[in-house]
């Protein structure tokens, strides 16, 4: 879908490389500038997030390295960087500098706190950003420490995916006006923006400021239960018809208390009953019981076990290649020849340096 789009990525960690990987998955020609001058903690010869990209190794603290980036920018459509605010400007590679070279350039920036504001220059990580934005508030049951899947809500959803949306939006503008722009994708912004559905529901009285008292973070029908083998099952049968199916599968459809689905006074008591019930059997028992039903119950799987699930297999979501277990690109496109680049090669750091530098000399 993005065939012919030229993207330059300045090496960083987390959301920036992920966003550039997603653009590469969608067909863009992505060149990542791996940096000699700033060693990245945990850096390896190959990174899964570099799949489908070309790699050039440059020292951006030298005039030669910066000159190479400027040459690459002349024919690029997009630049992506995730450095601390002001770092690119200090290198002479900020948006003002590069828009002089290429006015149509989409300059994509992703940070935790954004390019401005009191916290802009502070360090932080996923959990900090979503804590401040409100996105962490409803995580975990009451009386438990709020916690979400690492990096997914902040770095990836609130950061990388909002950067991709900003880049694609600006490309649409470039196509109409020929003028580029700067995308300021802050994780704290994106994760707060994702709360708007919950804020709408809060306005309807569905959500409360008190943790454990809302429709999705308190009821017995919206949580996970541990099985006899230590594994877990997820339950979220929100609508009445799905809740009835859930009760029927468990033989509880005639229980007078369980029939009072929306009574908060019963949620804790009924949750405790379900804890005892689910603990009577191993996970596989519950998988078979709820299979092919609309009870809205599914097992909690590790990525490795997810790879073996029939539905995941049928959609070819997981694969293992070049030493990495990896998920297929998303979304999918129906009626388009855009083949997934799941088998895209992962370059070594600097693998294409000679090729790219020779191309700049022409």
Span 268-299, pLDDT tens digits: 999 999 999 999 999 999 999 999 999 999 99
Tell me the mean pLDDT in the region 84-98. Answer: 97
> What is the spatial distance between Cα 200 and Cα 57, in angstroms, rounded to a whole number?
47
Domain 6-194+322-361 is of which CATH architecture?
3-Layer(aba) Sandwich (3.40)
Contact 191, 154 (CB under 8 A): yes
Domain 222-300 class, CATH top level: alpha beta
**CA angle at residue 221 from 217 to 222, to 5 degrees?**
30
**pLDDT band at 44, cuts 50/70/90?**
confident
Q: C-alpha 151: how far from its chain's center?
A: 7
Active site residues: 125, 155
Q: Does the bond joining 331 to the residue before it have cis omega, within 30 degrees of 0?
A: yes
Closest to 47 in 3D by CA, of 354, 344, 249: 344
Per-residue confidence (pLDDT) for residue 340, from 0 to 100 = 52
For CATH 3.30.1540.10, the residue range(s) in the chain are 222-300
Task: Give the pLDDT of residue 140.
Answer: 87
Question: Which pLDDT band holds residue 342 (cuts at 50, 70, 90)?
Answer: low
Provide the b/e sequence for 101-137 (b: ≥16 CB within 10 Å): ebebbbbbbbbbbbeeeebeeeebebbbbbbbbebbb
Where helices occur in the chain by DSSP H, the ranges are: 15-25, 63-74, 87-90, 95-101, 126-133, 161-177, 187-193, 196-203, 240-250, 264-278, 283-290, 303-306, 310-314, 353-361
Kindly report which listed range (22-36, 260-274, 322-336) carries the lowest average pLDDT score.
322-336
pLDDT at 233: 96
The least confident of 160-164, 313-317, 332-336 is 332-336
The 10 Å Cβ neighbour count of residue 235 is 22
* 103-107, 148-152, 314-318, 341-345: segment of lowest average pLDDT: 341-345
Q: Are 54 and 352 in contact (CB under 8 A)?
A: yes
Residue 158 three-state SS: helix
Mean pLDDT score, 139-149: 87
Q: CATH 3.40.50.10540 residue ranges in the chain?
A: 6-194+322-361
In sequence order, the β-bridge partners of residue 222 are: 236
Lowest-confidence segment of 51-65, 139-153, 183-197, 305-319 by average pLDDT: 139-153
pLDDT reading at 112 higher than 60: yes
The packing angle between helices 353-361 and 63-74, to 10°, is: 70
252 neighbors 174 (Cβ within 8 angstroms): no
């Amino acid at each position: 879908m993005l065939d012919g789009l030229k993207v330059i990525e300045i090496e960083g960690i987390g959301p920036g490389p992920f966003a550039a990987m997603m653009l590469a998955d969608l067909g863009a020609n992505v060149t990542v500038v791996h940096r000699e001058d700033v060693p990245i903690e945990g850096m390896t010869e190959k990174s899964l997030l570099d799949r489908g990209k070309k790699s050039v190794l440059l020292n951006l603290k030298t005039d030669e390295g910066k000159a190479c980036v400027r040459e690459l920018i002349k024919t690029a459509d997009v630049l992506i960087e995730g450095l601390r605010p002001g770092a690119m400007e200090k290198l002479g590679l900020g948006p003002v500098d590069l828009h002089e070279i290429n006015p149509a350039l989409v300059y994509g920036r992703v940070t935790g706190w954004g390019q401005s504001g009191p916290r802009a220059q502070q360090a932080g990580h996923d959990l900090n950003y979503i804590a401040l934005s409100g996105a962490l508030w409803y995580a975990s049951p009451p009386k438990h420490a709020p916690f979400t899947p690492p990096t997914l809500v902040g770095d990836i959803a609130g950061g990388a995916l909002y950067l991709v949306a900003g880049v694609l939006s600006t490309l649409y503008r470039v196509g109409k006006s020929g003028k580029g722009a700067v995308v300021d994708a802050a994780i704290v912004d994106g994760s707060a923006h994702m709360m708007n559905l919950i804020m709408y529901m809060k306005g309807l009285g569905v959500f409360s400021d008190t943790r454990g008292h809302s429709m999705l973070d308190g009821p017995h029908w919206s949580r996970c239960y541990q099985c006899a083998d230590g594994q877990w099952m997820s339950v979220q049968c929100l609508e009445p018809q799905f809740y009835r199916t859930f009760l029927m599968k468990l033989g509880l459809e005639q229980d007078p208390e369980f029939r009072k689905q929306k009574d908060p006074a019963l949620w804790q008591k009924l949750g405790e009953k379900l804890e005892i019930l689910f603990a009577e059997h191993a996970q596989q028992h519950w998988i078979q019981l709820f299979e092919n039903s609309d009870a809205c119950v599914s097992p909690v799987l590790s990525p490795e076990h997810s790879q073996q699930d029939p539905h995941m297999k049928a959609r070819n979501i997981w694969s293992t290649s070049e030493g990495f277990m990896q998920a297929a690109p998303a979304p999918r496109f129906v009626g388009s020849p855009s083949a997934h680049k799941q088998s895209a090669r992962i370059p070594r750091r600097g693998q294409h340096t000679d090729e790219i530098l020779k191309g700049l000399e022409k």
